[in-house]
Amino acid sequence: MTRATPPLPRAAPPPTSAAPPQATHTTPAPAVARSPLVFQSVKRKRCGACRRGPLRLLTLEGGQPRCLDCADLGHLVFLPRGDTALTRRAREESALSAVVVRFHRRRGRYERQGVLIEEQALARAEARCLADAEARARRRARDAARRAAQDAVFVAEFAARIRRLFPGCPEDRAAAIAAHAGARGSGRVGRSAAGRALSEGAAAVRAAVRHVDTPYDRLLMEGVPRREARSRVTEAVAAVLDGWQGPTPAPSTAPDPYATGTPATLDSSTALTALHETATTGTVRSM
């Protein structure tokens, strides 16, 4: 915990009002349950009531730290994040639970670390997970196979488009660029919403050329600042991209699923822009 980072705000309970006479026979909707928040302390804090410390886990009451025993949470056990099914079932089984968070300074936000739950509830949740572990494993395998098939289609389409816009690009390079840009769970532009809305194709091709075909990585290892290193290799990147603008193969009689009427020769900046628009939106801009 840092003194400059206040705890997560709690939503105020909705105001209660008396039900009208004609609606007295209805059952009011139950209030939405909100788990208490427990903080993983990053500083040596002591309990404001019993002065015990330093505290690894604490709560806040009136702006003052409280240990779990003083907050009546000392009988709970910690279940770290990672197993979604176990966490969900443990919270279902536990009459009392608390969410454990820690402040991430670089990201400037609280992040969930796990939950505190009753020990008996955890045992029951583990038994439920063991009972259907095989079925859940089969479901995960099916989901993984489905995602792999989707990724293969994405990479093949992306690589084909790179080859059409850059006829001189080797097939293995086009496939490698597409696979790297669209790796699932990587957070790269090919998989991010911002990248799909902006420039995933242009960024992927240009970055691949910068790292593979220029001394950019060596400059970084020598301590050259990133912006200066990029400036030094700008002409080399442009030369490679222009070299990939080789003669366009003879047009095929088969319909092109990506574009029609593409000129035989494009400059590198126009081709990169068209690649971005196609990879991100699925449409082709007239060039």
The DSSP result for 98-127, as a single string, is EEEEEEETTTTEEEEEEEEE-HHHHHHHHH
Instruction: List, for residues 52-100, the tens digit of each pLDDT value.
Output: 878 889 999 888 888 998 988 989 999 999 999 999 999 999 999 999 9
Instruction: List, for residues 171-225, the tens digit of each pLDDT value.
Output: 888 888 888 877 765 555 444 443 343 345 567 788 888 999 899 999 999 999 9
The answer to whether residues 111 and 42 touch, using CB atoms and an 8 Å cutoff, is no
Q: Based on the number of CB atoms within 10 Å of its own CB, is 50 exposed (0-12), middle (13-18) or buried (19 or more)? A: exposed
The answer to whether residues 123 and 86 touch, using CB atoms and an 8 Å cutoff, is no
Task: Give the pLDDT confidence score for residue 255 in this predicted structure.
Answer: 47
Name residue 65's amino acid.
P
Alpha-carbon span 192 to 45, nearest angstrom: 39
Q: What's this model's pTM, rounded to 2 decimal places?
A: 0.48
Separation in Å, CA 197 to CA 64, 162, 169, 184, 205: 45, 18, 25, 17, 17
Q: ω before 80 within 30° of 0 (cis)?
A: no
